[in-house]
Amino acid sequence: MPNPIADAKAQEATHTFTFRAATPADIPALQTMISTSLRSLGATYYTAAELDDSIGFLFGPDTLLIHDRTYFILHPVSAPLTICACGGWSFRRTLYGADTAPGRMPEARDPRTERASVRAIFTHPEWVRRGLGTMVMRYCEARAREAGFERLEMGATLSGVALYERCGYARSGKEDCVRCPGGEGIRIVHMVKDLPEGAGDGDAVGEDGV
């Protein structure tokens, strides 16, 4: 079975891609990219009706993360406007979802007692199977560690669960079924991970080439 961490490390070593913080100007392109990713890569896990009902409501950019500068775009070094993959982390209690999703909790978490959340990792279908989604995950984990968090959680799409399990996340046993405006229920799997002591190799690729 492919090792996504090894694939990501190999990709990082090429220095072909780098990160930048997403800005409000990126929101339309992020909306399009997330929709394209879900409709291509999530079609075997969600029905067309579920995707139609959830994209833009549950799945989409969280502008609070963009404001916090904790949502990132992975792009080729030579093409900063090309969104190969995206994702973020958050010190706030909202676990998942776009601005319109239910359950918004903007209060800050305490890194001494709470987990940071890894948020909304998506890869464009044209850039899959290159380790890029895992690069985003590792980058977000490193940024959360820098902010003092040693434990993480996420609300994973069904299409992402197997990958995250191979990256060290475990199902907590909790699942949500988010009811969307058209009545479709979208399953979200709660997953957790404790960062290994001293791990820091998610820093291999710096934001804006730094």
What is the secondary structure of 21-44 as a DSSP string?
E--GGGHHHHHHHHHHHHHHHSTT
Q: What digits encode the pLDDT tens for the residues 180-208? A: 999 999 999 999 999 988 655 554 444 44
Q: What digits encode the pLDDT tens for the residues 105-127? A: 999 999 999 999 999 999 999 99
> Which one of 3.40.630.30, 3.40.50.300, 1.10.390.10, 3.40.80.10 gives the CATH number of domain 4-197?
3.40.630.30
Q: Exposure string (b/e) for 46-84, b if CB count within 10 Å is 16 or more? A: beeebbebbbbbbbbbbeebbebebbbbbbeeeeeebbb
The reported pLDDT for the residue numbered 130 is 93
Give the residue extent of every domain in the chain.
4-197
pTM of the model: 0.92
